[in-house]
Amino acid sequence: MTDVRLAGIGMTSARTRDRLVQRLREQGIINPSVLERIRNVPRHIFVDEALGSRAYEDTALPIGFGQTISQPYIVARMTEALLEAGEVSNVLEVGTGCGYQTAVLAPLVARVNTIERIAPLSTRARQRLKELGIRNVRFRHGDGSLGWKTHAPFDGILVAAAPLTVPEALIKQLRVGGRLLVPIGQEGKQELVRFTRRDQRVERESLGAVAFVPLLGGVA
């Protein structure tokens, strides 16, 4: 991928990215590392070329197969919420999608294990991250609601689609002290929740209303 494509021109330029970062600051994102990743990751390469001029709007955009690239604020909010308690090494991402969230998160942690149920999306995301030189990501085509037991326990789990209730497998694959970020609920009534696993209990904290595609089982 050429340097010109990565850097962007016009509506995908550095100035446009700076405006997006300023909007996120105004919405309460304060982690400087997260903001820098939002600025530096070329979101326009994760969407169809026809949508490139909208890549740095703070909105979700279609990526095919009934899926969307998440709103930059949501990506920043989930990443910041995962990192708030300190160093995070081993992370599970459920719902790779186009790979944008993966690209934002990966340089901030030691390892990302990411699962996508739709094979062409997983293949496309793998190629994009390779082009960006991101090497600490392990990909899997599979059912993310089951987690990835062979690489558990995880310090953090990010879920990029909304189940009606939290998959029990994901809670079980958190280490003690680990955090699960997941949108929960039916369409129009979803909230982003952070679960923290303790020795004898799981703490629950609501982080506000959100809108995600539903979490589906199986593979496609």
Tens digits of residue pLDDT in 134-188: 999 999 999 999 999 999 999 999 999 999 999 999 999 999 999 999 999 998 8
Please, which pLDDT band fits residue 194 given cuts at 50, 70 and 90? very high
Tens digits of residue pLDDT in 97-146: 999 999 999 999 999 999 999 999 999 999 999 999 999 999 999 999 99
The whole-number pLDDT of residue 4 equals: 47
Number of independent structural domains in the chain:
1
Distances in Å between the Cα of 58 and the Cα atoms of 30, 35, 54, 112, 170 are 16, 13, 9, 24, 29
The whole-number pLDDT of residue 27 equals: 96
Instruction: Classify residue 132: in a domain, yes or no.
Output: yes
Instruction: Classify residue 119: in a domain, yes or no.
Output: yes
The whole-number pLDDT of residue 22 equals: 97
**What average pLDDT does this structure show over 86-98?**
93
Catalytic annotation on 145? no
Instruction: Classify residue 5: in a domain, yes or no.
Output: no
Whole domain around residue 199: which residue ranges?
64-210
**What average pLDDT does this structure show over 8-25?**
82
The whole-number pLDDT of residue 151 equals: 97
Note if the pTM is more than 0.75.
yes
Instruction: Classify residue 2: in a domain, yes or no.
Output: no
Flag whether pLDDT at 33 surpasses 60: yes
Q: Which of 33, 70, 89, 206 is catalytic?
A: 70
Instruction: Classify residue 36: in a domain, yes or no.
Output: no
CATH number of the domain enclosing 95: 3.40.50.150
Please, which pLDDT band fits residue 2 given cuts at 50, 70 and 90? low
Tens digits of residue pLDDT in 40-88: 999 999 999 899 989 999 999 999 998 999 999 999 999 999 998 777 8
Instruction: Classify residue 55: in a domain, yes or no.
Output: no
